[in-house]
Chains A and B, each alone.
Chain A
Amino acid sequence: MHKLTVPIPDEAIRALRAGDQVSLTGIMVTARDAAHKFLVETYVRVDQPTQELELYQELKSILNGGAIYHCGPVVSKNPDGTWRFVAAGPTTSIREEVYEPEVIAHFNVKAVIGKGGMGPNTLKANQEHTAVYLSAVGGAATLIADAVKEVVTVYKKDEFGVPEAFWVIRVEDFPAVVTMDAHGRSIHDEVAAASQSRFDELVK
């Protein structure tokens, strides 16, 4: 079990191999479909960002050496107005494949956490920018919510809705498995190839 603390140094990322179990501690931010589209269209695919500049500074600081979590949580508001994560498992990551390599490169993200794995562009971005993709267990929502010790803040909640907002959270011992490392290995590709050859035998 590798213990990772955010911000994650490059040498800790390089030490990880596909198949390793990890536990993360520190600050991470949830981002899914609307958030990725927003990040790339507002900040990355422009000559110079001109909109939402205050949020840009906040996100740059959170994401530098940081972790993005593909998650649309169930949240509950405490009587004192703060938020609490009730259920927070990962959502399917591949939908962000068109955005993630640019997000990793632009913001210096070190760990992308989700489920189901990502494609060749993210695998390449992992190698080029020393990052990893971590699989959390899909549906393990209550257990993961238990690892979320604090909701630090939330951005874009009213505009994107609860599941799609940027939730900045502090986690302790968040459990995950390295399924795409920084050395070009993807468990997703390996399992896909092995299951394809077994399939070919079964339908012959």
Chain B
Amino acid sequence: MNDLTEQFVELIRKAATELPPDVEQALVAAKERELPGSAAAGALETILRNVGLARQLSSPVCQDTGTPIFEIYHPQHVSTREVTAAVRRACALATQRAFLRPNAVDSVTGINSGDNTGVDFPTLHFHEWDDDAIKAQLLLKGGGSENVGAQYKLPDAQLKAGRDLEGVRKVVLDAVLRAQGEGCSPGVIGVCIGGDRGSGYIKAKQTLLRRLDEPNPDAALDALERRLLSDLNSLDIGPMGFGGRTTVLGVRIAAQHRLPACYFVSIAYMCWANRRATVVIRDGQATYA
């Protein structure tokens, strides 16, 4: 296998500095909904100017370049150890080139590794597939929004949320209400119904890789996403919590099988800087999206 380090550096550069077109379009639409001259409209104008400048200068959209989460699809013969090594080298190089901020801190000593590698850092998930190409999807998940993520255990007596989609709707509303502007609204809300406490959060983040203009293949979950989008935006928390008509850009919901005893709803809050990028490497040729 060829060394994929440089292809992964480019993937990181693209994710950190170029906001995906669907996210930028959603932000433009949000700006048009706000009252001209309002703090909300001002915040969205600032965001859009920043997105343009970051792309032009190839500079990070946000200084918190987040946890790099890689979802890697590979054919049977590819060594996941080699791919992991290349990804880690790429993280260090991307840090040197200032596409990433040094973001990996030793939790015991408090020392920043300086190069975005450390114990279980970055995050990698491997999926073997039938295609002969390698596909890597990268999500850069910022820390401010990570702090407002939440996990609920249904039934929830206080919220009167039962073990059904109506209960899920209530806890998602609660999580966004509690987050206010702190997760850098307008964000994208990734939700996983079911699973366990570990798998649910991973799945909730994986849903954030779905484009905002792509519907949910499950009709019931798609309907819930639309209902929540409208409910959440009626909270008027607005961009950065300044008040306003757009509190979230989208809601993505997935479900996992669960134990009879458990019903978790795991909610990953993604800031407006929903940074993701994909590379497909086929016959040594890399194609980025």
A residues near B, CB below 8 A? 19, 21, 34, 71-76, 86-89, 91-92, 94, 115-117, 135, 137-146, 161-163, 175, 177, 179, 187-188, 190-192, 194-196, 198-199, 202-203
Q: Give the chain A neighbours of B102 by CB distance below 8 A.
A: 161-163
Instruction: Check if A87 sits within 8 Å of B273, measured CB to CB.
Output: no
B101 contacts the other chain (CB 8 A): yes
Interface of A is mostly: mixed
Known: A138-B184, A202-B231, A203-B170. A89 touches B243 (CB 8 A): no
Q: Give the chain B neighbours of A34 by CB distance below 8 A.
A: 110
Chain B min CB distance to A148 (Å): 11
Q: Give the chain A neighbours of B159 by CB distance below 8 A.
A: 203
Q: Give the chain B neighbours of A163 by CB distance below 8 A.
A: 63, 101-103, 112
Q: In whole angstroms, how far apart are the Cα atoms of A199 and B232 in the complex?
A: 9
In the complex, which of the residues A88, A139, A179, A194 contacts B184, with contact meaning CB atoms closer than 8 Å?
A139
Q: Which of B75-83, B175-183, B200-208 contacts A (4 or more CB under 8 A)?
A: B175-183
Extra inter-chain contacts (14) besides given A94-B182, A139-B272, A162-B112, CB under 8 Å: A72-B63, A72-B101, A86-B60, A115-B181, A135-B242, A139-B47, A139-B62, A139-B142, A139-B184, A145-B63, A161-B102, A161-B111, A163-B102, A202-B235
Q: Kindly report which residue of chain A lies nearest to residue B231, judged by CB atoms.
A: A202
Instruction: Check if B63 sits within 8 Å of A195, measured CB to CB.
Output: no
Known: A137-B43, A161-B102, A196-B177. A143 touches B144 (CB 8 A): no
A-B contact pairs, 11 of them (CB 8 A): A74-B100, A115-B144, A135-B242, A139-B64, A140-B50, A143-B46, A143-B49, A162-B112, A191-B181, A194-B236, A195-B237
Instruction: Check if B160 sits within 8 Å of A203, measured CB to CB.
Output: yes
Q: In whole angstroms, how far apart are the Cα atoms of A57 and B160 in the complex?
A: 56
Q: Kindly report which residue of chain B lies nearest to residue A196, judged by CB atoms.
A: B177
Instruction: Check if A91 sits within 8 Å of B174, measured CB to CB.
Output: no
Query: Which chain B residues numbered 161 to 204 have a C-beta less than 8 Å away from chain A?
Result: 170, 173-174, 177, 180-182, 184
Known: A86-B98, A115-B184, A195-B235. A177 touches B242 (CB 8 A): yes
Q: In whole angstroms, how far apart are the Cα atoms of A143 and B56 in the complex?
A: 11
Assign chain B's interface to a size class.
35 or more
B137 contacts the other chain (CB 8 A): no
Instruction: Check if B61 sits within 8 Å of A142, measured CB to CB.
Output: yes
Q: Give the chain A neighbours of B250 by CB distance below 8 A.
A: none
Instruction: Check if B182 sits within 8 Å of A116, measured CB to CB.
Output: yes
In the complex, which of the residues B100, B174, B271 contacts A138, with contact meaning CB atoms closer than 8 Å?
B271
Q: Could you give, for residues 229-273 of chain B, a 1 whenever the CB lies within 8 Å of some chain A CB and a 0 otherwise?
A: 001001111111111000000000000000000000000000111
